[in-house]
Amino acid sequence: MTADLEGKIALVTGGTSGIGRETAVLFAKAGAKVVVAGRREREGQETIELVRAAGGDGLFVKADVSKASDVETLVQKAVEGFGRLDVAFNNAGIEGAWGPVVRQTEEDFDRTMNINLKGAWLCLKYEIRQMLKQGGGGAIVNMASITGLVGSAGAAAYSASKHGVIGLTKSAALENAKSGIRINAVCPAFTETPMADRTLRLPAVHKYVLSCHPIGRLGRPAEIAEAVVWMCSDRASFMTGQSLVLDGGFLAGQNSPS
């Protein structure tokens, strides 16, 4: 990978595993210093070790993105540690408890929304404030999903949260375009992560979901991470307010005959 982010300061939420961890390492390989946030300190420090092994420098900050005070402190610590903030990947999220709307609890709905949607909103709020304080310029990518573009039976709260992330992305992009802050979203299909392992733990479910990906497999974290790093680089300088789909053909086949 070329040093597309040389000298930049990057922030990754949900960087303790999966796509977030892979993106943190790729940010480092692209020349950025990386601030990793998450709720699990041990896994977060493991990510920082991988960042350093990749030749980068990093800092872990324990944070719950559903709490405004945590997010504000996270951005402050990034600036205290490295002087500024140039790039952010708002990746933190949960799948929630999947099941029909009529059986979903209010507690689980609120938790899913608080982390996936409110968390993205809080991150945008404090990241953009910092970037504006620096004089503008920067790039932010939000983690959405293909379920932010189509419905998903049994995953109403998750799908609604990701639809919301796409709406947030478009609105924030419009508000900040003239300040040089680009804001986009990435929309993966099922990817080989701990979250997918939990969701697809039943063999029959795994088989069905796999069949929905015409490419014949699930995504790999590195494939999503590569796209995020590109969107954060100057090579994507004319891209803002967009939702980049990486789905192995999933959406293209939604209306295909069975």
Q: Which residues are catalytic?
A: 158
The whole-angstrom separation of Cα 144 and Cα 161 is 8
CB 92, CB 65: distance < 8 Å: yes
CA contacts within 13 A on the Cβ side of 57: 8
Asked if 137 and 181 count as a contact pair (C-beta separation under 8 A), the reply is yes
CA distance 67 to 114: 9
Distance CA 19, CA 195 (A): 10
Q: What DSSP letter does each residue of 119-164 carry, written as one string?
A: HHHHHHHHHHHHHHHTTS-EEEEEE--GGGTS--TT-HHHHHHHHH
Rounded Cα distance between 25 and 46, Å, is: 11
In whole angstroms, give the CA distance from residue 87 to residue 28.
Answer: 12
